[in-house]
Amino acid sequence: MYNGIIVIDKDAGMTSGDVVYKLRKILHTRKIGHAGTLDPSVTGVLPIAVGQATKLIELMHERPKAYEGEGMFGEATDSYDLDGTVTKTARLARPFTSAEIQAGMKQLTGDISQLPPIYSAVKVNGKRLYEYARAGIPVERPARAVHVASYELVGKPKWDEAQARESFAFKVACSKGTYVRSLVNDLGEKMGVPAVMTRLRRTASSGFDLQQAVTLDELEKHLEQIDQYLQPIDAFFKDYQTVDLDEQSWKQVQNGAWIKLKADADKVALRYNNRVKAIYRAKGGATYCPDLMLLSNE
């Protein structure tokens, strides 16, 4: 039985569910889940929890994400990317300067309110937004609060004189729930022109990045070396304060008991035999109680 996180570098054309389905076949186990859906056209980091690590999925969702991509001024679609139907086009009077684009991006950083694309999985009255869109039913999209740590222009924008359009590359670091497609669309609105995202690649998620990532094809070809691709559960808690348990404390933890700890963090990782076996949270004073149990982590 495998326990850990496999960081997949997802290819374009696959859904996140496709990746899980294929990994279940490759690893011959059903206890697998992903942390953070990627649209089929988006490539990059898709953390996959296996075995005991599936208990971490909710925590994995909470961690920030990073992306790099490209956008274009002069066209907009209903999905905010190239998979949608064109809703507006415009010939730009002139190219925007790098400073102008970066100034627009700065307005979309920090704590912001964002409308999700109509073609998204956000639920309204029990139905996904994309279900309303496909049925042609108008619906009010709920604004959501997100945090954009950085939204930056990369390199020089490219001006297409014949089409009077401008392409630009960018990188984004943001909280969960942020739609990068919306950031590109909203940037166009700030600049007063239609805009569409033309490419996106996730470079980091759940505390992992492309350096730890492997494609499905590579993993399948080198399955005998899976240990080098399987990130241990402990790696997810590398920033936590850790406490090594003695035999008596370990027996208490196995029974889910509240224990006294010499610690000064709100949450601590408890280790036994050099493996994180539980996450305990402070209850006041030196008393800690169970928050997440990982007793089978070997």
The listed range with the strongest mean pLDDT (29-33, 197-201, 221-225, 237-241) is 197-201
Residue 249 to residue 28: CA distance in whole angstroms: 35
Average pLDDT over residues 238-243: 94
Average pLDDT over residues 207-235: 92
**Does residue 273 register a pLDDT over 80?**
yes
**Does residue 1 register a pLDDT over 80?**
no
Distances (CA, A) of 213 to 12, 217, 233: 15, 12, 16
User: Is residue 74 within 8 Å of 87, Cβ to Cβ?
Assistant: no
Q: What is the pLDDT of residue 2?
A: 84
**Does residue 123 register a pLDDT over 80?**
yes
Strand 165-174 relative to strand 144-160, pairing = antiparallel
pLDDT in tens, 31-47: 999 988 898 999 999 99
**Does residue 254 register a pLDDT over 90?**
yes
Residue 47 to residue 176: CA distance in whole angstroms: 14
Q: Does domain 240-293 have CATH number 2.30.130.10?
A: yes
Q: What is the pLDDT of residue 277?
A: 96
User: Is residue 59 within 8 Å of 9, Cβ to Cβ?
Assistant: no
Q: Provide the whole-model pTM.
A: 0.92
Average pLDDT over residues 233-247: 94
Of residues 38 and 73, more confidently modeled: 73
Decide if 4-63+206-235 and 65-200 have a common fold: yes
Q: What is the pLDDT of residue 261?
A: 92
The reply to whether 39 belongs to the active site is yes
Domain 65-200 CATH superfamily: Pseudouridine synthase (3.30.2350.10)
Every domain of the chain and the residues it spans: 4-63+206-235, 65-200, 240-293
Q: What is the pLDDT of residue 164?
A: 98
What is 4-63+206-235's CATH number, 3.40.50.150, 3.40.640.10, 1.20.1530.20, 3.30.2350.10? 3.30.2350.10
- Reduce the DSSP state of residue 239 to 3 states and report it: coil
Q: What is the pLDDT of residue 115?
A: 87
Q: Which of 7-16, 63-72, 220-229 has the lowest mean pLDDT?
A: 220-229
Catalytic residue among 9, 11, 18, 39: 39
Residue 239 to residue 280: CA distance in whole angstroms: 14
Q: What is the pLDDT of residue 62?
A: 92
Average pLDDT over residues 187-197: 98
Residue 63 to residue 171: CA distance in whole angstroms: 17
Q: Which of 39-43, 118-122, 211-215 has the lowest mean pLDDT?
A: 118-122
The share of the chain scoring above pLDDT 70, in percent, equals 100
The residues, ordered by sequence, that sit 6+ positions from 135 with a Cβ below 8 Å of its Cβ are: none
Q: What is the pLDDT of residue 6?
A: 96
Nearest to 16 by CA among 39, 41, 45: 39
- Write down the mean pLDDT value for the chain: 93
